[in-house]
Structure 1
C-alpha cells in the first residue's frame, strides 16, 4: 500500500487558615519532574500575582493590591518578610486568602523595565514570563488544578508563560495527571493570542520529546495531518516513490540507511490573497540521528530524537498562524527520515548529485541535514517562487559552543529579514544572534577540484560552513536559523520551561516574525 493512500482514512498503522511561607519552587533535587508533587485537584484554586521593584521598594500590581485589600493586608505582611528573598524568577506561596487554596507571590522585576538594547530583550515582557512561570510551577507543585494569572500589564506574555510552565510530558505514564486549567484573573486583550502561542510551542515540545520509535517519519507526518488540517492548513504527505520521481537523490542518500520509510511533508497556509508570493519555511526533520558511519558519542546521541526540532518548530508556527488567522501565505516543506547505520547507509567519500545538478562529496555522514535541505530548497523555489525563505534546523554544535545556549544562530542575505527576526526574538524572549555569511567560508567548501561542493569543508567554523553550504542552493532572500543549543533539551532554562525536557524554541519568535511581515505587507497594500 502506498504512503499517500494510508492517509486517506487519516490513520497510519503503527508498525509501521493560616499563613505560611512555602519554599520557593526552585528548591529541591534537580530531577526531571518533581516526583513528590501531589496530584492536581480541580477543587483547589490558586492565583499568581506579581510584585514590582521600584526605587528599592516593592510595589504590588493592581491585582495583587486588590487581593491584599480583601485579605486585610496579608500580602503586604508577607512581602515585608520576603524582601531579602523575593527576586526575579522566584515565587512564594501564601495561604489563608479567601477564595484560594494558595496565592503565589512572584517577582515581576523592576517596574520601569522596557526594551534593553544591550541585552536585545524586551524585559517588560520577559520579566512577567519569569514571574508567572515561577508562580504557576509553585501552585502546580501544591496540587492546584485551577490557576488564575495576573498579567501584570503584559497579558500575552503572561499567557505564554502560564501555558509553557504548566506543561508536562507524560505521554507514557500509566496514570496521567489532568492539565492545569489556566485563565486570566480579569479579561485582558492579548491573553488568547499568548495562550495560542504557548500551546503551539508545547506541541513542538511534545513532538521533539517523543522517543524515536514512537515518532517515526510517518508518525510525524500523521501528527501534522491530525493537528493542522482541522485548522485549514493543506497538508500533503509524500512517500518514497514520489521523492524518487522528483529525483531528490541527496535526501534519499540520507534516508537509505534506515528501515523506516522517508516522507516529504508539504504544508500550505493561505491567509492572504491567493497568488501572493509565500514565505517558504524549510525544516530538517531527522526523527533520529545516530550520525551514520560517523557515529555520534552516546552522551550526545540520547538527545538526538530531537534532531527534528526544526520540523517541530515550523509545524507549531503554522499552528499559531492558522489559529490566529494571520494574513500571510506560508508554505512549509519538511523532509522526514532517520540517519542510521546499515549495509545500505551512505559512506564517507560518496558523491551525490543534488536536485540542481550540484555534485556533493560526503565527507561527514553526521552532516546529513544540509543534504536533505539542499534538495528541499531547490524544489521549493522552483515550485513556489517565494518572497522569502526561512530554514530552521539543528545543524551544528558550533552555535551552541559560541552562544552557550543563550541564543540561536541566524545567517541571512537580507538585512530587513534579519531585523524582523531580531525584533521578534526580543519580544518573545528567544533571541537570535547573527553570524557571518562570507565568501571566506564558501571557498572552504569548493577547494577540492574533483567535486562541486563538499558537505564538511576544510575549515573549523562548522556553523558558518553549514550556512555557506545552503547558500549554494538559494537564489532569493533567505535566512538560515540554526537552533542547536536552544531547540533540543533545555539544560539551562527560564522558570517557564522545564529543565531536561525539549524546549520547542524558537516557535514564538518565528511566529511573531511572520506576523510582523504580514503586518508590514498589509500597510504597504493600504498605501
Structure 2
C-alpha cells in the first residue's frame, strides 16, 4: 500500500472511497459538515434517522452520494470523544481498513487524521492512520491464493497535504513494511520458515538495503564458541540451527549500539517433553521474536535511523529424536554456567541464554532487549493485549513502557525480584531451566537475567501479543511498533528524522 497526499477538497476528489470518522457524542466536524453540505444534507438526514455508525469501530459505506466525486464514502464510528485515545484511534483506523478492503476500493482518501486525539499531534495521527490501514489490508497469500472474486488489496491511500505530511507517510511506509515482514514470517508454515529460511531472509534484507550488514553463524562456528545451550535445542532436528546478526551503522563510529535479540524457534514440538496435540500447529509462531527483530531491522534501514542497531536472532527447531536433548541433561552454556534441563519445552530460554551472552560479549551494546514468545504463563497473566516487560533496570523499563504507549503497542511490567531466583536453583548445576508453576514468566526472565550480567537488559514476553488466537489465526506484527518507537526515541525522537 502506497501513501500520498492531496490538497484538493474532499468533495472534489475523484477517488474510490472517502474515509471519515464520526464521534458518538459530538456534532459533525469540519470534514463531515463540508461533505454534508456538498451532498445537500444527505448525511444529516441519515444521522437523524439513526443510520450512521457512531459506536467505536462500527462502519458504514455509502455509495454514489450526490455532490461528491468519490464513488463511496466510508464512515467509521469513533465512540465517545473523551475516550478517544491513541488505542481507540488505531482500532478505528483498523476497522476502517478492514471495511475498505471488503469494499473492493483500490484507492482511497483518508480524513481520520483530522479527528482530535488526546495527547497526539498531527504527525502521530498521520503515521498511525497509515500504518493501521496497511495492517488491516493484510491478507496471507504465500501458500493460499485468493479466490477470483476475493476483494483486491488497496493500492494507495491519500491524506490531506500539510507540513511534513509526506515525511510522516514515508515513515509510515517503513513501519508498515517491517510489520508486514514480521507477519509474513510468523504466518509462514514451519516446513518453509526454517532456521535457514530466516538466515536467507536476513541476507536478502542486507542485499536490498544499503548500510545493512549480515553475519550468519552455522553450527560448527557456534560449537567452537561453546554455544551448547542453543545447539542442544536444535540437535533433534534435521534443520540446522543458525545465529543471525543484522547490523545497522547509522550512528557515529564507536557509539555503542542498541541490540535486539529475538527468539526464533521455527517450530516447537516441545522436544522429548512433547506438547499436547491440541493447538500444536500454532507453534509455528514460536519464532515471532525473530520475526519482530527482522521486521524492526527492515524498518530501521528504510528509515535510515541515525543510530547504531544490532539485530540478533537465535534460530532453531525443537524436535523429538534419538539425538534430542533430554530432561536431566546438564548443559554448559557459552558463559560457562551450567543448566540442568527439567523440561525440553523450556527451550526458548536455552537458546536465548547463549544469544544474549554472545551479544553482550561481542557487540557490547549500550542497551539490550530480547523478544520472545517465551511462556504460556504470560498469556495467563496478561492475555493478548499487553506484552510482558521484565528487567531490574527501571529506566529501561520506563523507556519501553512509554514507547509502547506512544506506539499503541502496549506492554505491562512484571516483577523481576531476586526472591524469584531461588525457584530455578538445583543441587546439580548452576541453575535449572524451569522454575515450576508459580510466576512462570518471571522465573523464565530470572533465568535469562543470569546471562545478561553487566548489561542494561530487558526481556519482553510476547507469547500473548505476537499472534491472534482463534479465527483467523495470524501473526500480529507486534511489538515492531513499540521497538521502532523505542529506537527512534533513543535516536533523538521523530522530529530528528
Paired position in structure 2 for 1:222: 200
Deviation at 1:227, TM superposition (A): 2.8
Which runs of structure 2 are paired with 1:9-28 in the superposition (5 Å)?
none
Contact 1:236–1:266 (8 Å) recurs in 2: yes
Deviation string, structure 1 residues 482-521 (Cα, Å, up to 9, x no partner): 0011102344xxxxxx842111111101110111112179
Q: Report whether the alignment pairs 1:341 with 2:341.
A: no
**Partners of 1:209 and 1:521 in 2: how far apart?**
30
Q: Relative to structure 1, is the Cα distance of residues 65 and 233 closer, same or farther in structure 2, using a 3 angstrom cutoff?
A: farther
The alignment of Structure 1 onto Structure 2 pairs a total of residues equal to: 462
Deviation at 1:413, TM superposition (A): 1.9
Q: Report whether the alignment pairs 1:169 with 2:144.
A: no
Query: Does the residue aligned with 1:437 lie in a helix, a strand or coil?
Result: coil
**Partners of 1:185 and 1:380 in 2: how far apart?**
42
Query: Does the residue aligned with 2:467 lie in a helix, a strand or coil?
Result: coil
Deviation at 1:245, TM superposition (A): 2.0
Paired position in structure 2 for 1:300: 279
Which runs of structure 2 are paired with 1:262-281 in the superposition (5 Å)?
262-281=241-260
Deviation at 1:73, TM superposition (A): 2.5
Q: Report whether the alignment pairs 1:157 with 2:125.
A: no
Which runs of structure 2 are paired with 1:108-507 in the superposition (5 Å)?
108-112=78-82, 123-153=84-114, 154-174=125-145, 178-188=152-162, 189=165, 190-231=168-209, 232-446=211-425, 448-458=426-436, 460-475=438-453, 476-491=455-470, 499-507=472-480
Deviation at 1:252, TM superposition (A): 0.5
Paired position in structure 1 for 2:75: 105
**Partners of 1:354 and 1:133 in 2: how far apart?**
44
Contact 1:437–1:467 (8 Å) recurs in 2: yes
Deviation at 1:332, TM superposition (A): 1.3
Deviation string, structure 1 residues 404-456 (Cα, Å, up to 9, x no partner): 2121100012111111111111122221110110111111112x222111000
Deviation string, structure 1 residues 308-345 (Cα, Å, up to 9, x no partner): 00011111111112111222111111111100011111
**Partners of 2:408 and 2:112 in 1: how far apart?**
16
**Partners of 1:350 and 1:111 in 2: how far apart?**
58
**Partners of 1:239 and 1:324 in 2: how far apart?**
30
Q: TM (normalized to structure 2)?
A: 0.88
Deviation at 1:466, TM superposition (A): 0.4
**Partners of 1:44 and 1:212 in 2: how far apart?**
41
**Partners of 1:332 and 1:441 in 2: how far apart?**
29
Deviation at 1:376, TM superposition (A): 0.9
Q: Relative to structure 1, is the Cα distance of residues 77 and 157 closer, same or farther in structure 2, using a 3 angstrom cutoff?
A: farther
Q: Report whether the alignment pairs 1:80 with 2:48.
A: yes
Give unpaired runs (5+ residues) of structure 1. Answer: 1-42, 114-122, 492-497
Contact 2:259–2:311 (8 Å) recurs in 1: yes
Q: TM (normalized to structure 1)?
A: 0.83
Which runs of structure 2 are paired with 1:47-62 in the superposition (5 Å)?
47-53=18-24, 56-60=25-29, 62=30
Deviation string, structure 1 residues 198-256 (Cα, Å, up to 9, x no partner): 23212111100000011111112112222343223111222222112222111100010
